């Protein structure tokens, strides 16, 4: 059961127009479906040892705090729970570095030919960095709650699977 965002009336799932006030619900339903789809990532919590999760939550949280990821990378090698989050945290850091380098190149080129566009690229870069920040918060929340759940967008990248076991 969903609620109309305009008048608050209860509407059946899948209904496209609110029967009470006539509000078009389709666009809003799509947004929430997209968010659900994006956050509905693989979760391997059930395959891990609850003791491992309980004992290594701090290590897992460190994985999302910039260079502090090095601590669990080297100090929690025997914890599959910490390893899971180290991989996610490193993926995020790699994506952040790639984006930073790409924007450095774009800005250098634009700076010499179209400096007026630098404002636009810095806004785009700022928005992408907000996404990275939100993803790292999500990772920290997952780690603190003892969940081994992939991050949206970057979590599916498998480049580290052969490097970190």
Question: Of 5-13, 87-95, 106-114, 138-146, which segment contacts Zn ion by CB under 5 A?
Answer: 5-13
**Does 4 interact with Zn ion (rule: CB under 5 A)?**
yes
The answer to whether the CB of 88 falls within 8 A of the CB of 155 is yes
Which of the stretches 10-18, 34-42, 57-65, 129-137 binds Zn ion when contact is defined by CB under 5 A? 10-18
**Residue selected from 3, 10, 15, 20 as contacting Zn ion according to rule CB under 5 A:** 20
Residue 7 lies near Zn ion (rule: CB under 5 A): yes
- From residue 89, give the alpha-carbon distance in Å to each of 30, 36, 43, 135, 140: 29, 22, 16, 9, 9
Which is closer to Zn ion, CB of 24 or CB of 54? 24
Nearest to Zn ion of 23, 152 (CB atom): 23
Contacting residues for 133 by C-beta, under 8 A, at least 6 apart: none
3-class SS of residue 18: coil
């Amino acid at each position: 059961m969903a609620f109309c965002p305009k008048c608050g009336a209860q509407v059946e799932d899948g209904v496209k127009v609110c029967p009470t006030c006539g509000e078009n619900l389709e666009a809003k339903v799509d947004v929430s479906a997209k968010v659900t789809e994006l956050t509905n990532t693989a979760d391997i919590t059930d395959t891990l040892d609850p003791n491992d999760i309980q004992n290594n939550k701090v290590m897992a949280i460190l994985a999302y705090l910039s260079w502090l990821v090095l601590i669990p990378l080297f100090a929690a090698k025997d914890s599959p729970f910490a390893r899971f989050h180290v991989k996610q945290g490193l993926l995020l850091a790699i994506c952040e570095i790639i984006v930073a380098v790409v924007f450095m190149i774009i800005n250098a080129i634009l700076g010499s030919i179209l400096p007026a566009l630098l404002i636009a690229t810095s806004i785009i870069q700022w928005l992408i960095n907000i996404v990275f920040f939100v993803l790292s918060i999500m990772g920290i929340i997952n780690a603190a709650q003892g969940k081994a759940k992939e991050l949206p967008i970057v979590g599916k990248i498998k480049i580290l699977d052969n490097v970190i076991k």
